[in-house]
Structure 1
């Protein structure tokens, strides 16, 4: 019944995201109650708490919402334009390519700016996507073959990331945070770089809702409806790669979030992109914030990177999807 009321779903998810944000922002060596947080948000409350919340904890909350939403939207776009339920930033090698390019650039130029890292991450992600699609394309891009090639290229990029980290003057903990994706230690600097890119790209993507709905029906139907199919696919893939590159540059590699968020969202609101895109952004933001909350509380005082939590949640689902695609392929062949 709720699927018939996507606006209600959106409101419920927004409320759940706000609740999760308040819970997350109170977690730490000094616990801050939800009531105290609400007082701080309206300009009241303890000055020391205000410093802790707005200078240290708020940036990671805002960044989780931005990055989670960006990866989810990128996953929706990739799955739509490729007509592939296994397509996602990590399964297409975009995340791996972006991370490898960003880390190699940092190892070669230690003083490089965050903005430059984001641009280089975009180039690396685009190159990895091109390689995956070229290797997987054979009389069409078979979903299973595309996913397997994407995982292989991601593994190769992961080796590049590890090599770059070995050459960097960095600790093992910092290396772990980059390899697995973490919101730990992130500040407003990362927010101010990621926010303009992610918000602008998502707003631009909202302009192509009709084109996305047409592409979902197939290339021939979309062309009949006046869509320049190949040009539109390249443009949309480029925008989703830009979202992924900005995300990787800000927090490292967050695995499987761009894969599972679109599937959850379609079950909630269906496949019309005017509902799918904004709702997916909320779902992705909630999942990353939830993963960060779990990582910060399950074995306190140690902190598990959010990317590890999303991997634990997403890897089994990816194997299930891979099995389903393989089974569907066998049925089609018979």
Structure 2
């Protein structure tokens, strides 16, 4: 439990420093003033740009940590990650497909395509794993196969 408090204090310290760093450096004293006093000179920058960015980074990190723990718990393997189960390769395949087939598409389409590709890879993984009884080792091995398929398809598109 003590380690958790130390990690929390470390995260908050790093977040505090990160909020002060940017194109305009804000000293720790100015940062404390901006967090507590609405009339501080840096209040607008801190509250409209840097604090939301810092909070979003903390929430994204927490979400990725929870997703990693769930994946590792489901597969019962402490080394499990999205690339082991093929989800990353599915996202990469969809992104490459959009880049090659729709070269003039807006850049905002890439994350959407990657998300859809990751979802399709996860769906394929679950469907194929259910045939084998959805055991953790079957899930991991099927994930490696799904990843290999998507990687081969990506390589094929890039070569052609």
TM category, shorter: 0.5 to 0.7
Match of 1:33 among 13, 27, 34: 27
- Does residue 21 (structure 1) correspond to residue 5 (structure 2)? The answer is no
5 Å-filtered alignment, 1:171-320, equals none
Q: Distance in 2 between matches of 1:92 and 1:41?
A: 43
TM-score (norm 2): 0.65
TM-score (norm 1): 0.35
- Does residue 10 (structure 1) correspond to residue 21 (structure 2)? The answer is no
Question: Is there any run of 5+ residues in structure 1 with no aligned partner, and where?
Answer: 1-5, 164-334
5 Å-filtered alignment, 1:21-100, equals 21-44=15-38, 46-47=40-41, 49-98=42-91, 100=93
Q: Distance in 1 between matches of 2:49 and 2:152?
A: 35
Cα deviation code 1:250-289 (max 9, x no counterpart): xxxxxxxxxxxxxxxxxxxxxxxxxxxxxxxxxxxxxxxx
Report what 1:295 is aligned to.
Answer: none
Q: Distance in 2 between matches of 1:64 and 1:156?
A: 33
Cα deviation code 1:160-186 (max 9, x no counterpart): 9x97xxxxxxxxxxxxxxxxxxxxxxx
- Count of residue pairs brought into register by the alignment: 149
Question: Is there any run of 5+ residues in structure 2 with no aligned partner, and where?
Answer: none
C-alpha contact 1:94 1:126 (8 A) present in aligned 2: yes
Q: Distance in 1 between matches of 2:23 and 2:37?
A: 23
C-alpha contact 1:97 1:154 (8 A) present in aligned 2: yes
Q: Distance in 2 between matches of 1:157 and 1:63?
A: 34
Structural RMSD (CA): 4.0
Q: Distance in 2 between matches of 1:62 and 1:41?
A: 14
